Chains A and B, each alone.
Chain A
């Protein structure tokens, strides 16, 4: 019902193995951090846009989910124009790069059920189930936090405590309420941990998996394509002559 939240973009990306998608996204992010030139960033972004078509993901849906990213990119550009003496080409490069790096990550999370991701991390990356499923379970509690916070504010009002007059009184209430939220979150997590142990999560048995996350040919293609895209983007930068390694300039 309301549970999936940000998940499930239309398109074929949902059929890929979550670990493969994660690896591809990481490759792209790392590969695009090498240089800070505009050519490689633009090429990468262009390839990503073509990829959206290949995966049959509607542009409109992507924009709907990623518009905060574009806002961020624009504000980075504005901040740089105001504050730094860098050329507008460099600034545009930084903003485009931000979008190009973040896009695969957003696509990953909006085409993957978190349960499948946890399964895949355990099955393909051999991450301890103890961490993967505990993180998964606490991930489910996250959306409840804001509701919990307003409940705490209400509960405090019922005990005679509200936003006082003046900014300091407001800050004090905010800080103490956030503290109460932490305490309550920890208690919830403890209770959840106890439930999980009661279901045998702490058994010293090797855990099986009810959902097999398969690695198929197209997953290998996905990873190789990501690698190819990073190489092409950087080589394009070299050819044009704008390629410039970030770490060397420091």
Chain B
């Protein structure tokens, strides 16, 4: 009997900055040419396994390894050219400034002669549908195009193993769609072995002929044919925090029409920091208490700029924003930060920048201390939030070492410590598993019922349909649609065509 292509024997890995192993006692086997969907809850070690297979953990000596992880019987460090990896965020995956040089970079590293490089570069670019000249700048590509360029990098190197770490997670629906189509196109032609991580089970799942679920940090593993695994173990997986395909997302909140207006924007126009073109123009909005507003739109539609203006973090070039009921005699944009945080909380798309301390628990307590809250009350509140958002076991860890989903939840918790009347969240559901997704929804529902105003900046149709009361659609900096949620749902198929808000999971029960 031939041995499997990929084999883990009692394998484990611990990052040097953590006491606990990210994965331990892992045993699994993957045969050549299998298309595997790798599942697991947030923080289950999926990415660690992929990075290890790409030879990145040992190459950078980030931690200690135990047991064996083998590709073709060899250590992953010795099989690097057989393995290609696509990361979540295309912006940190690009090395060179022009698309031709970018694809050629990997081939140069492998010592491939110049005459062979360029035909392979051109073939790979056309395979992923990038028809620009090879001197086109990578910075001029959209997010979806950049991710397809990363896929072209992989194709050109012709690895026999493809590792895909949530390749569509950071893209808007339009970009995600183009990457999914590319992957389907390639799937029919390749003999490669594929390992795919996806949280939300998009259409990419259909590419898989095998599912492997990592449980208890690798201590146990469920594997089998997708249908078999999902049917037999559906309930169990769901409880472990794994989204199921075609899962019915249920809305629990009744639609609210909101109460008092707490923040009002009148005719605001603003530039995105560092750019000369207007990112939003003449937008008027009312943010109400007991109400969830969802601002939707593709990348570059001006959503984030609008959020920054609403949060008093970016001064608009025209128009006003007024926080109603706070009479301190100053314009909203000259408020002191200490006062601002008590009224408005903002969670960034890149929450890392918001971290101020070296410990998760300190991150929550720093604001109450500055606001002179009672230490006991603050501590109790912090512990409650950590428990609800599944971060208790990380209380003493460095915020920068958390997983993407954990960082985002920490940032939400930190903003909630000051109980602001308005909470603005930029893509809060990135990297969340089913459990943390629903916990986040439940927490925000409660806060809204208690009177808070919530603004979601998101591409997430599921999140919008189960949490929002009103939807504003942005395109190229202007409001192109504004509806109560029932209308949003009714018009969804139309919206789908117009803005490509791809609904990946079939019908949603609203």
Given the complex of chains A and B, what is the CA–CA distance between A198 and B159 in angstroms? 12
In-complex Cβ contact of A194 among B60, B314, B418 (8 A)? B60
Using a Cβ–Cβ cut-off of 8 Å, how many residues does chain A contribute to the interface with B?
A: 49
Of B94, B105, B109, B370, chain A has the most CB atoms within 10 Å of the CB of B109
Contact: B340 with A209, CB < 8 Å?
no
Q: Mark B324-354, 1 if CB is under 8 A from A, else 0.
A: 0000000000001110110001101010111
Task: Kindly identify, within residues 191 to 207 of chain A, every residue whose CB is under 8 Å from any CB belonging to chain B.
Answer: 191-203, 205-207
Residues of B close to A197: CB separation below 8 A: 55-56, 59-60
Contact: B93 with A3, CB < 8 Å?
no
Residues of A close to B274: CB separation below 8 A: 146-147, 150
Contact: B113 with A158, CB < 8 Å?
no
Contact: B341 with A159, CB < 8 Å?
yes
Contact: B109 with A3, CB < 8 Å?
no
Contact: A180 with B353, CB < 8 Å?
yes
**With known contacts A157-B313, A197-B56, A203–B108 Cβ distance under 8 A:** no
Residues of A close to B348: CB separation below 8 A: 155, 158
A185 at interface by CB-CB < 8 Å: no
Q: In the complex, how many angstroms separate the beta carbon of A76 from the nearest chain B beta carbon?
A: 32
Residues of A close to B223: CB separation below 8 A: none
Given the complex of chains A and B, what is the CA–CA distance between A25 and B195 in angstroms? 51
Given the complex of chains A and B, what is the CA–CA distance between A146 and B274 in angstroms? 9
B54 at interface by CB-CB < 8 Å: yes
Task: Kindly identify, within residues 70 to 91 of chain B, every residue whose CB is under 8 Å from any CB belonging to chain A.
Answer: 80-81, 84-85, 87
**With known contacts A195-B92, A200-B109, A209-B114, A159–B140 Cβ distance under 8 A:** no
Binds A, one of B96-104, B293-301, B384-392, B494-502: B96-104
A162 at interface by CB-CB < 8 Å: yes
Q: In the complex, how many angstroms separate the beta carbon of B204 from the nearest chain A beta carbon?
A: 21
Contact: A150 with B92, CB < 8 Å?
no
A208 at interface by CB-CB < 8 Å: yes
Contact: B95 with A196, CB < 8 Å?
yes
Contact: B340 with A160, CB < 8 Å?
yes
Contact: B353 with A151, CB < 8 Å?
yes
Residues of A close to B111: CB separation below 8 A: 203, 205-208
Q: In the complex, how many angstroms separate the beta carbon of B165 from the nearest chain A beta carbon?
A: 11
Contact: B367 with A160, CB < 8 Å?
yes
B112 at interface by CB-CB < 8 Å: yes
Q: In the complex, how many angstroms separate the beta carbon of A58 from the nearest chain B beta carbon?
A: 24
Residues of A close to B126: CB separation below 8 A: none
B360 at interface by CB-CB < 8 Å: no
Contact: A154 with B314, CB < 8 Å?
yes
Contact: B106 with A208, CB < 8 Å?
no
Q: Mark B34-55, 1 if CB is under 8 A from A, else 0.
A: 0000000000000000000011
In-complex Cβ contact of A159 among B92, B109, B367 (8 A)? B367
B137 at interface by CB-CB < 8 Å: yes
In-complex Cβ contact of B56 among A3, A137, A155, A194 (8 A)? A194
Contacts across chains A and B counted by CB atoms under 8 Å: 149
Q: In the complex, how many angstroms separate the beta carbon of B277 from the nearest chain A beta carbon?
A: 11
Closest chain B residue to A134 by CB distance? B95
Residues of B close to A196: CB separation below 8 A: 95, 105
Residues of B close to A194: CB separation below 8 A: 56, 60
Interface size class of B (residues with CB under 8 A): 35 or more
Contact: A3 with B273, CB < 8 Å?
no
Residues of A close to B157: CB separation below 8 A: 199-200
Given the complex of chains A and B, what is the CA–CA distance between A207 and B106 in angstroms? 10
Interface of A is mostly: helix
A82 at interface by CB-CB < 8 Å: no
Given the complex of chains A and B, what is the CA–CA distance between A209 and B107 in angstroms? 9
Contact: B110 with A205, CB < 8 Å?
yes
In-complex Cβ contact of B353 among A162, A184, A199 (8 A)? A184
Residues of A close to B94: CB separation below 8 A: 195
Given the complex of chains A and B, what is the CA–CA distance between A235 and B388 in angstroms? 81
Q: In the complex, how many angstroms separate the beta carbon of A180 from the nearest chain B beta carbon?
A: 7
A217 at interface by CB-CB < 8 Å: no
Contact: A208 with B117, CB < 8 Å?
yes
Closest chain B residue to A195 by CB distance? B93
Given the complex of chains A and B, what is the CA–CA distance between A36 and B56 in angstroms? 54
B356 at interface by CB-CB < 8 Å: yes
Residues of A close to B80: CB separation below 8 A: 200, 202-203
Contact: A155 with B353, CB < 8 Å?
yes
Contact: B337 with A192, CB < 8 Å?
no
Q: In the complex, how many angstroms separate the beta carbon of A6 from the nearest chain B beta carbon?
A: 14
Given the complex of chains A and B, what is the CA–CA distance between A158 and B350 in angstroms? 13
Residues of A close to B414: CB separation below 8 A: 159
Q: In the complex, how many angstroms separate the beta carbon of B220 from the nearest chain A beta carbon?
A: 29
A249 at interface by CB-CB < 8 Å: no
Contact: B97 with A159, CB < 8 Å?
no
A115 at interface by CB-CB < 8 Å: yes
B472 at interface by CB-CB < 8 Å: no
Given the complex of chains A and B, what is the CA–CA distance between A94 and B346 in angstroms? 54
Residues of B close to A152: CB separation below 8 A: 353
Q: In the complex, how many angstroms separate the beta carbon of B96 from the nearest chain A beta carbon?
A: 7
Contact: A205 with B56, CB < 8 Å?
no
Closest chain B residue to A2 by CB distance? B139
Contact: A191 with B273, CB < 8 Å?
no
B455 at interface by CB-CB < 8 Å: no
Residues of A close to B354: CB separation below 8 A: 155-156, 158-159
Q: In the complex, how many angstroms separate the beta carbon of B331 from the nearest chain A beta carbon?
A: 15
Given the complex of chains A and B, what is the CA–CA distance between A188 and B95 in angstroms? 12
In-complex Cβ contact of B92 among A2, A115, A160, A188 (8 A)? A188
Closest chain A residue to B344 by CB distance? A158
B438 at interface by CB-CB < 8 Å: no
Contact: B273 with A208, CB < 8 Å?
no
Contact: A210 with B107, CB < 8 Å?
yes
B242 at interface by CB-CB < 8 Å: no
B422 at interface by CB-CB < 8 Å: no
Contact: B114 with A154, CB < 8 Å?
no
Given the complex of chains A and B, what is the CA–CA distance between A1 and B139 in angstroms? 8
B21 at interface by CB-CB < 8 Å: no
Contact: A115 with B337, CB < 8 Å?
no
B15 at interface by CB-CB < 8 Å: no
Q: In the complex, how many angstroms separate the beta carbon of A103 from the nearest chain B beta carbon?
A: 26
Other than the given A155-B354, A196-B105, 5 more pairs (CB < 8 A) read A115-B101, A160-B418, A208-B107, A208-B111, A210-B107
A-B contacts, 21 listed (Cβ < 8 Å): A1-B139, A2-B139, A3-B137, A3-B139, A115-B101, A155-B348, A159-B356, A159-B414, A160-B338, A160-B371, A187-B400, A194-B60, A195-B95, A198-B55, A198-B56, A199-B153, A199-B157, A200-B109, A203-B110, A208-B111, A209-B108
Write the residues of chain A forming the contact surface with B, with a CB cutoff of 8 angstroms.
Answer: 1-3, 114-115, 133, 136-137, 140, 146-147, 150-152, 154-162, 180, 183-184, 187-188, 191-203, 205-212
